[in-house]
Amino acid sequence: MYNTVEKDVKKQEPNSVGLFWSFVLLAIAIYFWESPLLLPIKYLTVFFHELSHGISAVLTGGEIARIELSFNQGGLCYTAGGIRWIVLSAGYLGSLLWGCAILILNVRYKQEKVLMNLLSIIFIISIVLWVRNFEGIVICSVLALITYLIPKYATTYLCDVILNFIALSSCFYAIIDIKGDLIDRTVGASDAARLGEMFLLPGWLIGSVWLVMAVIITYKAVSYSLKR
């Protein structure tokens, strides 16, 4: 007598196939970039931006005081201590690195549902420890719910496509943010402007360096993912 055990066997697809559909979703998202339906993606990237400021402060000897997010896609991370130029640089580049890391980890280890759940946990931890304004709590709560429900109800393949789409969107939004805020408009109170003041350089030059770095990093991450 023996028992048969049904296993959830994941059909192995080439990464290029899943990434193709993720790029299709990204293209659709770019076309409808001003649609309210894409706000969660934008909020996610803003969250990564502010969290990256905080993490860089902690890693360089400082601490996170609080994080604030707003419905108009703005955010602030209040830190104490840390190496200032690293903390300032970590925002735009950090949100980009989050996207690249998610993409690479997903295609390498094929644990999309685990990664989704980890994102949900990160949002919850952030609410408990750092996010202190009402809009920020609402945004992180919605993001936590979305990243919890997707792996719970979506198929493994669909979850894979969505996670890659989230990663690519984060990279794309970070690049657009750098170009728009730091080069096209040169926001006076931007991270690049503050860093420029430290090194006696124009903010647009700092932004241009970040933009080149962002494009190269994204290209490397996507190329790696396609080869896996």
Q: What is the 3-state secondary structure (H, E, C) of 6-23?
A: CCCCCCCCCHHHHHHHHH
Domain membership flag for residue 104: yes
**For 6-33, what is the mean pLDDT?**
74
Tally of domains in the chain: 1
Q: Give yes or no for residue 7 having a pLDDT over 60.
A: no
**For 153-169, what is the mean pLDDT?**
94
147-157 confidence digits (pLDDT tens): 999 999 999 99
- d(Cα 88, Cα 65) in Å, to the nearest integer? 15
Sign of CA dihedral 113, 116, 122, 124: negative
Which of the four pLDDT bands, split at 50, 70 and 90, describes residue 139? very high
Domain membership flag for residue 2: no
- CB neighbours of 44 closer than 8 A, spacing ≥ 6? 143, 166, 169, 170
The 3 state secondary structure assigned to 113-168 is HHHHHHHHHHHHHHHHHCECCHHHHHHHHHHHHHHHHHHHHCCHHHHHHHHHHHHH
69-86 confidence digits (pLDDT tens): 999 999 999 999 999 999
Domain membership flag for residue 27: no
> Can you give the residue range of the structural domain that contains 219?
36-227
Token pair of 51 as six digits: 């969290």
Burial class (CB in 10 A: 0-12, 13-18, 19+), 219: exposed
Please provide the distance, in angstroms rounded to a whole number, between the alpha carbons at the two ends of the chain: 42
Mean pLDDT over the full length of the chain: 87
Closest CA to 97 of 209, 183, 220, 180: 220
Domain membership flag for residue 19: no
Q: Give yes or no for residue 10 having a pLDDT over 90.
A: no
Measured in whole angstroms, how far is the alpha carbon of residue 214 from the centre of its chain?
13
Q: Give yes or no for residue 1 having a pLDDT over 60.
A: no
Q: Give yes or no for residue 8 having a pLDDT over 50.
A: no
Of residues 6 and 96, more confidence is placed in 96
Domain membership flag for residue 1: no
Domain membership flag for residue 109: yes
Domain membership flag for residue 6: no
Token pair of 81 as six digits: 């201590």
Output the pLDDT for position 40.
Answer: 94
Q: What angle do CA 97, 30, 50 make, to 5 degrees?
A: 35
Which of the four pLDDT bands, split at 50, 70 and 90, describes residue 9? very low
Maximum alpha-carbon separation in the chain: 79
Question: Could you tell me the pTM of the whole model?
Answer: 0.87
**For 154-174, what is the mean pLDDT?**
92
Token pair of 78 as six digits: 């209040």
Domain membership flag for residue 25: no
Cα-based distances in Å from 218 to 87, 98, 160, 166: 21, 11, 19, 14
- d(Cα 77, Cα 44) in Å, to the nearest integer? 15
Which of the four pLDDT bands, split at 50, 70 and 90, describes residue 183? low
Count of C-beta atoms within a 10 Å radius of residue 59: 13
pLDDT over 70 percentage in the chain:
87
Output the pLDDT for position 97.
Answer: 94
Count of C-beta atoms within a 10 Å radius of residue 197: 13
**For 147-173, what is the mean pLDDT?**
93
With contact defined as beta carbons under 8 Å apart, do 54 and 79 qualify? yes
